[in-house]
Amino acid sequence: MVTSLFLTMVNGASEGHLEVGKLWIGPAISNYGYMGVFEFPGGAKDFYIIEQSSFFSAVINGDEHVLYGGTLGNELDFGWQNADGKYENWQSFGDDIGQTYLTASSDFSNSTDGDLQIDLTTSVHAFNHPLYDDFVIVEHTFTNTGTGTITEFYYGSHLPVDMGASGISYKDLDDYGEHDSISGLTYMYDDDGDDGLTPYYTGQVLLGVNQGNSLDTSAVWTTALFYQMVNPIAGKDDMLNKIKNGITETTGAPGPWSILNAAGPYSIAPGQSITFTMAVVYGEGLSGILSNVYAARKIAAYNFVIPLDETPPPVPVITDINVASRVIELEWISDLSSDFLQYNIYKSDVSTVGPWTLIEETVDSKYIDIGQSGFPLYYTITAVDIDGNETGLWGKANRTLDAVRPLGKAVTSLGEVLVVPNPYLGGANWETYDYENRLYFTQLPEKCTIYIYNLMGDLVKRLPHNLIGDNTMDGSGDESWDLLSQNRQTIASGMYLFRAVAENGDETSGKFVIVKGQR
């Protein structure tokens, strides 16, 4: 079933966002030549790319012009945004569930940079489909609205990359960059993968150029340049030199590199348009990112319509999540296609980005699960057709981004209190989603007080449970601790002791271990 496209108006063109596939971008996707930040996988809070910036240069009536999107362009005083006189809002032709398709236009005719008679239309495409969700495709269509031919026209993209999961110190110092002449991809990767925490490669590829007839997929970057931001672009002449640099195959050494690609030169006659189609691509390892490059080329060749024999049913949309003690009930809606087969329900007990385990295949739009008190759970729901085509795992609409946490019932008498997780293994890159910086005491009576001590016997924290001072007061048998002391200071790794005292004076004690930065 082909996803229907419909027109809606969204926020100003500097405020677009993509949250349908595995690669998320926002809160700034602009038709001013920049977009960011890039989150991969979406929801992981890992930002390998903060901002992608597009640029172009042209000779008009003997004058050489350069316009650059994003922060750098504004700093160098040849900013794309400053030159655009329209400031048009995005128009969205996608449903932002199975597909996002944004478009907006710019007009540089009133630019202070001279006689720049150029109109521009920017389009952005993203998909919630397992074959096409690791990249975002950008089209820039330039139209010569003047009376003279534009010559020496170059188009390109600047990609500053920090390869490394969030929280890794100096993560950009061991990054390598290479250009693959066969695929046309210029990419970067972490030298050692940070012991498995940084498995992804990222880069950008020119998918083709259309000068009025059809997309010429043989067109490739004519410049692939790596440079370090500690030696920033010095001005217009330096920028023009970099645009025309040619192909650099590799950085040769690790470091905080940025990618600069360009394609040209082209000529644009009066009234003529030229479209550049490029993609920012992610993938696991070199083979993974190259596979995704070919997928991006395929969907561009199909004019951004998923082939009919690969089209799954519409994406399910989670509408309700109910938690009653340990019982979790999920509900969702979806427009059933004629070839619909089933829904697949996946679960993770680690984070909102998996790893995922398939736990149920069903035709119902409701699922009931039983969780373990104190442990976070995450779900994503896909739809499958009779040919095996399945929707993507990573969209915002069909995934629980926040932890679903079962609650334990209060016990009638104070016995053995369970601490989960124990040991607490926090990590800089996953900690937010693994345990959300919280540790849980379960199997508590309805009302009690928990005292936490270090091994020296000093009181670290006092936790009232369903008593005055407890912010939750939910009547459950669970109580959480945010790993902050009485003075709101972050606690250190080590062994801790606790004592739980019920209202009737009964008490029990135990111990637990906190280990930070180990994931």
Tell me: the pLDDT tens digits for 193-246? Answer: 677 778 899 999 999 999 988 999 999 999 999 988 777 777 788 888 999 999
What's the pLDDT score for residue 307?
94
pLDDT class of 74 with cuts at 50, 70, 90: low
Are both 295 and 168 inside the same structural domain?
Answer: yes
User: What distance separates the 2 farthest-apart alpha carbons in the chain?
Assistant: 91
Whether residue 81 is contained in a domain is answered as yes
Whether residue 410 is contained in a domain is answered as no
Are both 176 and 300 inside the same structural domain?
Answer: yes
Whether residue 56 is contained in a domain is answered as yes
Are both 363 and 455 inside the same structural domain?
Answer: no
What's the pLDDT score for residue 14?
63
Of 405, 438, 466, the position where a domain reaches its end is 405
What's the pLDDT score for residue 195?
72
Q: Is the peptide bond before 316 cis (omega within 30 degrees of 0)?
A: no
Whether residue 312 is contained in a domain is answered as no
Q: Are 31 and 122 in contact (CB under 8 A)?
A: yes
Find the helix or strand (DSSP H, E) in which 82 lies: helix 80-83
Residue in 332, 344, 400 with CA at minimum distance from that of residue 371 = 400
Question: Could you give the CA distance from residue 365 to residue 381 in angstroms, rounded to a whole number?
Answer: 10
Q: Residue 341 is part of which domain span?
A: 336-405
Find the helix or strand (DSSP H, E) in which 292 lies: helix 285-301
Question: Could you give the CA distance from residue 519 to residue 339 in angstroms, rounded to a whole number?
Answer: 42
Are both 384 and 459 inside the same structural domain?
Answer: no
What's the pLDDT score for residue 246?
94
What's the pLDDT score for residue 202?
95
pTM of the model: 0.81
Q: Which residues contact 64 (CB under 8 A, 6 or more apart)?
A: 57, 58, 152, 240
Query: By three-state DSSP, how is residue 432 classified?
Result: helix
Whether residue 397 is contained in a domain is answered as yes
Q: Position 419: which residue type?
A: V
Q: Are 17 and 26 in contact (CB under 8 A)?
A: yes
pLDDT at residue 7 tops 80: no
Query: By three-state DSSP, how is residue 420 classified?
Result: strand
Question: Which CATH number characterizes residue 33's domain?
Answer: 2.70.98
Q: Are 177 and 250 in contact (CB under 8 A)?
A: yes
Q: Position 240: which residue type?
A: L
Q: Encode pLDDT of 150-200 as tens digits.
A: 999 999 999 988 887 776 766 777 889 999 999 999 999 988 767 777 889
What's the pLDDT score for residue 191?
83
**Average pLDDT for 369-393:** 90
Lowest mean pLDDT among 22-36, 191-205, 422-436, 489-503: 422-436
Complete edge-to-edge strand list for the sheet that includes strand 439-442: 418-420, 439-442, 479-481
pLDDT class of 438 with cuts at 50, 70, 90: confident
Whether residue 327 is contained in a domain is answered as no
**Average pLDDT for 68-88:** 71
Are both 366 and 496 inside the same structural domain?
Answer: no
Are both 445 and 493 inside the same structural domain?
Answer: yes
What's the pLDDT score for residue 44?
86
Are both 399 and 435 inside the same structural domain?
Answer: no
Of 405, 438, 454, the position where a domain reaches its end is 405
Whether residue 320 is contained in a domain is answered as no
Lowest mean pLDDT among 215-219, 452-456, 461-465, 502-506: 502-506
Q: What percent of the chain has pLDDT over 90?
A: 49
What's the pLDDT score for residue 326?
74
Number of independent structural domains in the chain: 3
DSSP for 103-165? EEEEE-TT-TTS---EEEEEEEEEE-STTT-SEEEEEEEEEE-SSS-EEEEEEEEEEEB--S-
Q: Are 279 and 152 in contact (CB under 8 A)?
A: no
Are both 383 and 454 inside the same structural domain?
Answer: no
**Average pLDDT for 297-316:** 94
DSSP state of 255: S
Question: Which CATH number characterizes residue 430's domain?
Answer: 2.60.40.4070
Are both 349 and 285 inside the same structural domain?
Answer: no
Query: By three-state DSSP, how is residue 87 classified?
Result: coil
Cβ-based neighbour number of residue 387 at 10 Å:
12
Are both 375 and 434 inside the same structural domain?
Answer: no
Are both 170 and 94 inside the same structural domain?
Answer: yes
In the block, residue with structure tokens 């005055």: 468
Question: Could you give the CA distance from residue 137 to residue 99 in angstroms, rounded to a whole number?
Answer: 12
Whether residue 347 is contained in a domain is answered as yes
Are both 89 and 171 inside the same structural domain?
Answer: yes
